[in-house]
Amino acid sequence: MPHPIDVNVGASVRTYRRQRGMTQTELGEALGLTFQQIQKYERGTNRISASKLVMLADALRVPVGAFFEGCDGATENEGPDEIKALVKHFDDMPEDIRVDFLRMIRSIATASY
pLDDT digits (tens, 9 = 90+) for 63-100: 998 898 877 654 444 455 676 677 778 778 888 988 88
43-60 residue pLDDT tens: 999 999 999 999 999 999
Question: 43-65: buried (b, 16+ CB within 10 Å) or exposed (e) per residue?
Answer: ebebebeeebbbbbbebbebebb
Distance CA 97, CA 67 (A): 21
Domain 4-110's class?
A: mainly alpha
pLDDT at 77: 46
Where does residue 1 rank: exposed (0-12), middle (13-18), buried (19+ CB within 10 A)?
Answer: exposed
Dmax of the chain from CA atoms?
46
* pLDDT for residue 33 is more than 50: yes
Distance CA 25, CA 38 (A): 8
Dihedral sign from CA coordinates of 65, 69, 75, 79? positive
The pTM (predicted TM-score) of the whole model is 0.63
pLDDT at 28: 96
What is the average pLDDT value for the chain, to the nearest integer? 85
